[in-house]
């Protein structure tokens, strides 16, 4: 793609985003997504034959959890592997040698990964249509989209910080699992556990609370209850969107901070 005339940052950002989407497409990401979807459908059929009651609820909850984790894992791998390869091939240095601010590159890449996340979200939601009402599936899909946006931003940040694929992927999965269970950890630490070992409880609880404030409460995102009991409300999306925007702001800030400090 050739850019003529004065450099339009917005246009450059979109070019980087489109190239990122193309790269993911050529990296056979759609095939990997289809494999996860196929496995999810087989799992759903298997659960349908095993469950003796509440069959649709079992299928919806478990298949939804599987697809959610599959989508998060695939997008994280795509983001981290793609970014790491660009660094390895010195592509980043080449792009940054152009007269564009580093923020344009960062936001362009992030936009590309967000655009990549959209079809993953849509097909994951479509796969759940047989098990739950459409409005609950739409809510679940929107929430999954927010989760994927955050994972894309986290992946970019971790590659910029840790620079190694293995480390970055391990870090992304660890942060994801911690963000999903941080609120439970706080509950456990503030319950009977704190009374049995007061000293440990005294130190553990503030640390866990601090971590839970730092991370988005992903336990409220993409809830299986919505698919199983149809309890999702549009008002639930307020919290999800607010958490997404605030965390995205924080992750982008941290990523840009690290990118501007790099000697490239």
CA distance 151 to 72: 7
CB of 7 to another protein, least distance (A): 34
Q: Among residue numbers 219 through 238, which ones bind another protein (CB under 8 A)?
A: 219, 223-225, 228-229
Q: Is 43 in the site for another protein (CB under 8 A)?
A: no
Site string for another protein, 162-201 (x = CB under 8 A): ---------------x-xxx-xxx-xx--xxx--------
CB of 163 to another protein, least distance (A): 28
CA distance 75 to 148: 7
Which CB, 47 or 148, lies closer to another protein?
A: 47
CA distance 35 to 27: 14
H or E stretch covering 177:
helix 165-190
Q: Is 45 in the site for another protein (CB under 8 A)?
A: no
Evaluate whether 13 touches 107 at the Cβ level (below 8 Å): yes
Q: Which long-range contacts (CB under 8 A, 24 or more apart) does 162-171 make?
A: 163/84, 163/87, 164/84, 165/80, 165/81, 165/84, 168/80, 168/84, 169/76, 169/77, 169/80
Q: Is 73 in the site for another protein (CB under 8 A)?
A: no
The binder of another protein chosen from 80, 83, 160, 218 (CB under 8 A): 218
Q: Is 139 in the site for another protein (CB under 8 A)?
A: no
CA distance 154 to 75: 11
Cα-based torsion angle of the residue sequence 175, 180, 185, 186 in order, rounded to the nearest 10 degrees:
100
Which CB, 27 or 163, lies closer to another protein?
A: 27
CB of 231 to another protein, least distance (A): 8
The binder of another protein chosen from 14, 19, 65, 103 (CB under 8 A): 65
Among 46-54, 99-107, 122-130, 147-155, the segment contacting another protein (CB under 8 A): 46-54
Q: Is 208 in the site for another protein (CB under 8 A)?
A: no
Residue found under tokens 């739409």: 138
Phi then psi for 222, rounded to 5 degrees?
45, 55
Q: Is 48 in the site for another protein (CB under 8 A)?
A: no
Where on the chain is the footprint of another protein (CB under 8 A)?
A: 47, 50-54, 57-58, 61-62, 64-65, 177, 179-181, 183-185, 187-188, 191-193, 218-219, 223-225, 228-229
């Amino acid at each position: 793609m050739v850019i003529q005339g004065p450099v339009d940052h917005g246009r450059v950002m979109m070019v980087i985003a489109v190239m990122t989407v193309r790269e993911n497409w050529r990296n056979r990401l759609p095939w990997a997504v289809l494999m996860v979807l196929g496995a999810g459908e087989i799992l759903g059929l298997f659960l349908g034959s095993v469950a003796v009651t509440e069959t649709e609820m079992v299928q919806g909850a478990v298949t939804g959890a599987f697809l959610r984790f599959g989508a998060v894992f695939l997008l994280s791998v795509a983001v981290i592997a793609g970014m790491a390869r660009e660094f390895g091939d010195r592509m980043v240095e080449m792009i940054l040698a152009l007269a564009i601010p580093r923020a344009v590159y960062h936001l362009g890449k992030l936009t590309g990964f967000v655009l990549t996340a959209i079809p993953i979200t849509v097909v994951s939601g479509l796969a759940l249509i047989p098990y739950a009402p459409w409005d609950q599936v739409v809510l679940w899909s929107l929430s999954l989209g927010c989760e994927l946006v955050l994972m894309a931003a986290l992946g970019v940040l971790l590659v910029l910080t840790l620079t190694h694929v293995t480390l970055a992927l391990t870090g992304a999965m660890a942060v994801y699992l911690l963000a999903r269970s941080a609120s439970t950890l706080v509950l456990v630490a503030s319950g009977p556990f704190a009374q049995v070992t007061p000293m440990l409880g005294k130190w553990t609880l503030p640390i866990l609370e601090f971590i839970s404030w730092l991370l988005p409460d992903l336990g409220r995102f993409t809830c299986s209850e919505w698919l199983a009991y149809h309890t999702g409300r549009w008002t639930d999306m307020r919290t999800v969107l607010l958490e997404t925007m605030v965390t995205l702001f924080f992750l982008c800030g941290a990523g840009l901070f690290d990118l501007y400090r790099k000697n490239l």
